[in-house]
Amino acid sequence: MKTIVVGGAGFIGSNLCRALLEYGNQVVCIDNMSLGNIRNIEDLINNTNFKFYKEDVINNEVLLNIFAKEMPETIFHLAANSDIQTSAKNPWVEYCNTYTTTFSILECMRVCDIKRLFFASTSAVYGDKRDIELTEDTPNLAPISYYGAAKLGSEALIQAYSYMNDMKALIFRFPNVIGPKLTHGVIYDFIKKLDKNKEILEILGDGKQTKPYIYVKDLVDAIVNFTNDIKPGVEVYNLGVTGATSVKRIADIICEELELKNVRYEYTGGESGWKGDVPQFRYCLDKIHKTGWKAQYSSDEAVRKTVRDVIEERKTDA
């Protein structure tokens, strides 16, 4: 199958490109390299089934030319701002990089008559509903971050485009995604901080923020398998794992793996790491588990495995 992965040089995107190639697909990767990095895809560049365009998908004319030239069967849309903490201070980032990317991609699909779409959505569309187990049918979605709002707006666009143009779309609402080639987030931050100071670790919030973390290999395997059989209309799944890991527990695992003892944790306080961050959420996974899919790694296992990946990468880089 010929595919386009938009945002394919990012952390999740590059892992997805790799998985798609392993399953025998042709992959056209488009990335503006704002958060993507050539190092994420350098092992793929010489693969004859892989092609890379450094372009910004907000530029609808450029994107249309690529779509029209490549005419893929399926689009994997992972182009978004992924650094919620940054966009909390500048909502334009989400307007441009998360919402307008979706609009631009859907417009090109409409014009080129491309029918199959995978979309990377997020738990952030629900907003702060920590008291309930979130199902795909939970009402009153009320994002508290500009990121969540732009993703929910994107989901709404996909619903309308799908209906108007008989597209088939699969939407996964991701939890936190971690693994090799991580570029930001709590694990990345803590390891960087401990690099500088092995005695004191500053922890944003009260450390009790507790979320499910999925290992990126689990995630991209699910994406590849589910997109083989996209149903007409729009199908939405919560994608998740067993358990959840607190920020304090992440700090503990990192210190264990780095063999650091007696690190003093200094909490900045408050229940959220920053305004717009949902401190806790729990997914009901009945819908996706009924399909037979289950993540291989639990949340704690994913964290530990990722910490080892990052430590390993740093050795290679050094």
Q: Which residues bind a copy of itself (CB under 8 A)?
A: 88, 91-92, 95, 99-100, 103, 106-107, 110, 125, 127, 136-146, 148-150, 152-154, 156-157, 159-161, 163-164, 234, 275-276
Closer CB to a copy of itself, 71 or 142, in the complex? 142
Are 207 and 258 spatial neighbours (Cβ–Cβ below 8 Å)? no
**C-alpha span between 90 and 80 (Å, rounded):** 14
- CB closer to a copy of itself out of 143 and 175: 143
Q: How far is the CB of 5 from a copy of itself (least distance, A)?
A: 23
In the complex with a copy of itself, the residue whose CB is nearer, 137 or 199, is 137
Of the pair 61, 317, the CB lying nearest a copy of itself is at 61
Is 18 in a helix, a strand, or coil?
A: helix
**In angstroms, what is the minimal distance from the CB of 99 to a copy of itself?**
7
Please list the alpha-helical segments (H only) found in 71-177. Answer: 84-87, 92-94, 101-112, 146-165
Give the separation between CA 163 and CA 56, rounded to whole angstroms: 27
Helix (H, G, I), strand (E, B) or coil at 267: strand
Least separation in angstroms between residue 140's CB and a copy of itself is 6
Place of tokens 């309930």: 132
What is the smallest separation between the CB atom of 146 and a copy of itself, expressed in angstroms? 5
In the structure encoding, which two tokens stand for residue 38, read together?
Answer: 């050539």
Is 169 in contact with 74 (CB distance < 8 Å)?
A: no
CB of 14 or CB of 104, closer to a copy of itself: 104
What is the closest distance, in whole angstroms, from the C-beta atom of residue 48 to a copy of itself in the complex?
36
Q: Are 212 and 178 in contact (CB under 8 A)?
A: no
